[in-house]
Amino acid sequence: FDGKNITLWKYESWLPVKKRVSLNEGGTPLYRLENLEEELEVRELYAKNEGANPTGSFKDRGMTVGVSKALELGMDKVICASTGNTSASLAAYAAKAGIKAYVLVPSGKIALGKLAQAIIYGAQVVPVNGNFDDALRVVVEASRELGVYMLNSINPFRLEGQKTIAYEIYDQLQRVPDNVVVPVGNAGNISAIWKGFKELYEAGVINELPRMIGIQAEGASPLAKAWKEGREFKPEEKPETVATAIRIGNPANWPKAWNAVKESGGLFESVTDEEILEAQRILASKEGLFVEPASAASLAGLIKLLREGAIDRSESYVLITTGHGLKDPNIVVNNFKLPEPIEPTLEAFRRVME
């Protein structure tokens, strides 16, 4: 009973920032997925549920540090390109900091909940005729020319915040898992988590490292394709997937992510939209965890890799579930047909039960 909230600021001395714009981010639950362990016959399986952050995704870890840094640098305007979650998070932290946020999003390709968040937190929402990669190009140019501070994950302070996922996994497990499975879009988060583990290793806090497993959606999988075909990275022109959060063809952080996977002895894999939606349903219906489609890519990848015998059932796995399921309600409701309403009588309900 010390009257304190548990947040990522627990690790303040490991974060390169002095100011603190906080909404009590981090401190997210690590769930043991016992039902799935049994069903998938895997020794130890956990989900680090980043949907439990203040705006419902891991982006809040990066934004608390990034927006704090913006204030430290005296910036009063911040900007990002986003498939949705980054825009929601930046909008919230800019609101808390009392500065102006511009968010550029691919027109018509952002989940409803995320759009609602960006609007209500008071960001200036700018839909772009193009995909995330196009929007990011404009944002990078704007940050050079127009005096706005860029808070996409190519800003290193974003990754500094997100690396605390690794600290927390170690803190909660009290050991290093064999594998960490991460959905990959712009490739910042997998790079950040690897950085966190490496820092703990270099400081002598831990003496082993996990393998990093990066999962992409098949229609937006430039890293997984290059990895599996054993060739150089090449961006994809027309990324497409139901998991709009990771609908990215030219991941800005690809070299860091590639290095994380390679150095850790991990791998990249891709999964189809059907596999993603099936994994989303499994996680909710077997474990009570409702995550957005991009987040379910981690479980979809695990299932695929186990099925193919590419990974070991006797090891431990932590899935990073990156965003809350309520971000994207349409994906569920539009794929489900409700039955006709019944009369409000016991008799009518009795027939339903039969």
Q: Least distance in Å: CB of 187 to ligand F0G?
A: 5
- Report helix, strand or coil for 177: coil
Beta bridge partners of 100: 77
Please name the residues in contact with 102: beta carbons below 8 A apart, sequence gap of 6 or more.
77, 78, 79, 80, 123, 124, 126, 142, 148
Contact 124, 87 (CB under 8 A): no
Residue 321 is a binding residue for ligand F0G (CB under 6 A): no
Stretch that binds ligand F0G, among 16-24, 30-38, 77-85, 199-207 (CB under 6 A): 77-85
For residues 239 and 323, which CB has a smaller minimum distance to ligand F0G in the complex? 323
Choosing from 55, 83, 143, 316, the residue that interacts with ligand F0G (CB under 6 A) is: 83
DSSP states along 179-235: EEEEE-SSSHHHHHHHHHHHHHHHTTS-S--PEEEEEEEGGG-HHHHHHHHT-----
Q: Which of residues 182-241 bind ligand F0G (CB under 6 A)?
A: 183-189
**Residue 228: CB minimum distance to ligand F0G, A:** 18
* Position 295 contacts ligand F0G (CB under 6 A): yes
Task: Please identify, using beta-carbon distances, which residue of 5 and 107 lies nearer to ligand F0G.
Answer: 107
**Smallest gap from residue 242 Cβ to ligand F0G (A):** 13
> Nearest-CA neighbor of 260 among 170, 195, 178, 184?
195
Question: What whole-number distance in Å separates Cα of residue 45 and Cα of residue 41?
Answer: 10
Total H helices, total E strands in the chain = 14, 10
Closer by beta carbon to ligand F0G, 83 or else 179:
83
3-class SS letters over 234-276: CCCCCCCCCCHHHCCCCCCCHHHHHHHHHHHCCEEEEECHHHH
Q: Does 90 bind ligand F0G (CB under 6 A)?
A: no
Handedness of CA 250, 252, 256, 261 (dihedral sign): negative
Whether residue 49 is annotated as binding a ligand: the answer is: no
Query: For residues 322-341, which are near ligand F0G according to CB under 6 A?
Result: 322-323
Q: How many of the chain's residues bind ligand F0G (CB under 6 A)?
A: 22
Backbone phi, then psi, for 154, in 5-degree steps? -80, -10
Report the candidate in 195, 173, 183, 181 with the shortest Cα–Cα distance to residue 322.
183
Q: Which residue's entry shows tokens 């980054």?
A: 86
Residue 186 among known ligand-binding residues: yes
Of the candidate spans 33-41, 81-89, 93-101, 141-149, the one that interacts with ligand F0G by CB under 6 A turns out to be 81-89
Q: Considering the complex, state which of residue 17 and residue 182 has its C-beta at the smaller distance from ligand F0G.
A: 182
Q: What is the contact mask toward ligand F0G in residues 33 to 72, using x (rule: CB under 6 A)?
A: ------------------------x-x-------------
Interface residues with ligand F0G (CB under 6 A)?
Answer: 57, 59, 82-86, 153, 183-189, 245-246, 292, 294-295, 322-323
Give the residue numbers of the binding site for pyridoxal 5'-phosphate. Answer: 85, 185-189, 322
Give the residue numbers of the binding site. Answer: 85, 185-189, 322
